[in-house]
Amino acid sequence: MADELTPAQTALRDTKRLLRVARTGALATIDGGAPLTTLVGVVSDWDGSPLFLMSELARHTQNLAADARASLLLTSEGGRGDPLNQPRVTLGGTVIRHADPHSRARYLRRNPKAKLYADFADFAVRRLWVETIHFNGGFGRADKLTVAELMSPADDIADLIAAEDELLAEVDALDESAMARLVAGVSSGRRVWRSAGLDAEGLDLSAGGATARVEFSAPARDRASWRERLKERVEG
């Protein structure tokens, strides 16, 4: 069928989704010459790059101060079947402090429980500058992707960034039927879906521990086009 995705397109789609919906990941740093892997909270920056809220006292943060190289594993949410047959991606690159004033708000919107410690003096946002990507979609589905094809457009989106709070408030004001169409096929139990973040390529939603990704038909770099893309999904 004409609408079927190629294996490469499927790998790109699944990897983009992992970048957007993951809330935790396994971060490997260099600890005195040996690898050390720790569980960290994670969210996505505007282009999809992973963001972390790290304490300066954490061992992995101290490792990064000595050697910024790191590797991050993001996995699919738990479910039935063999977990090794579920999509996951390993990203390699360097992790450094990220001074973008929007990054902390993006992190806390997706991981609201981090508000308990986010204002402690020793916590700061860091970003993984992705250099290598290894996607595994399950048995027999390993693919290499380039940074250029994976990262979402982050140029000329100043208007979208400025409108994020406004647009998310509009999402949260949608009626129950509209929200149901956006998250069709994804169960939230008895919890209510709420916006968790947006970018030029879509919208992230959460309901307790459940997450959903609403993909757009084409990138939207300003508030007007973003509203149009969302309308397409609601009415589609």
Q: Among all chains, which residue has been given the structure tokens 């860091």?
A: 126
Q: Whats the size of the chain, residue-wise? A: 236
What's the one-letter identity of residue 168?
L
pTM value is: 0.91
Q: Does residue 118 sit in the same domain as residue 19? A: yes
pLDDT at res. 1: 40
* End residue of a domain, out of 87, 116, 150: 150
168 phi and psi angles, rounded to 5 deg: -65, -35
CA distances from 176 to 76, 166, 188, 194 (A): 27, 19, 13, 11
Residue 1 lies in a domain: no
Q: Does residue 140 sit in the same domain as residue 210? A: no
Q: Does residue 94 sit in the same domain as residue 29? A: yes
Residue 202: strand pairing partners: 199, 215
Domain range for 14: 7-150
Q: Does residue 20 sit in the same domain as residue 107? A: yes
Q: Does residue 168 sit in the same domain as residue 94? A: no
- Structural domain total, the chain: 2
Q: Does residue 19 sit in the same domain as residue 136? A: yes
pLDDT at res. 151: 92
Residue 96 lies in a domain: yes
Q: Does residue 142 sit in the same domain as residue 167? A: no
Beta-strand (E) ranges in 17-122? 24-31, 34-41, 43-44, 50-55, 69-75, 88-97
Q: Is 206 exposed, middle or buried (0-12, 13-18, 19+ CB in 10 A)?
A: buried
* End residue of a domain, out of 132, 150, 168: 150
CA dihedral for 151, 118, 111, 26, sign (positive or negative): positive
* End residue of a domain, out of 150, 172, 207: 150
What does the angle CA 31 – CA 36 – CA 40 come to, to the nearest 5 degrees?
120
Walk along the chain (236 residues) and give the pLDDT tens digit of each residue. Answer: 446 878 888 889 999 999 999 999 999 999 999 999 999 999 999 999 999 999 999 999 999 999 999 999 999 876 666 777 788 999 999 999 998 888 999 999 999 999 999 999 999 999 999 999 999 887 767 777 899 999 987 889 999 999 999 999 999 999 989 999 999 878 777 789 999 999 999 999 999 888 899 999 999 999 999 999 999 999 97
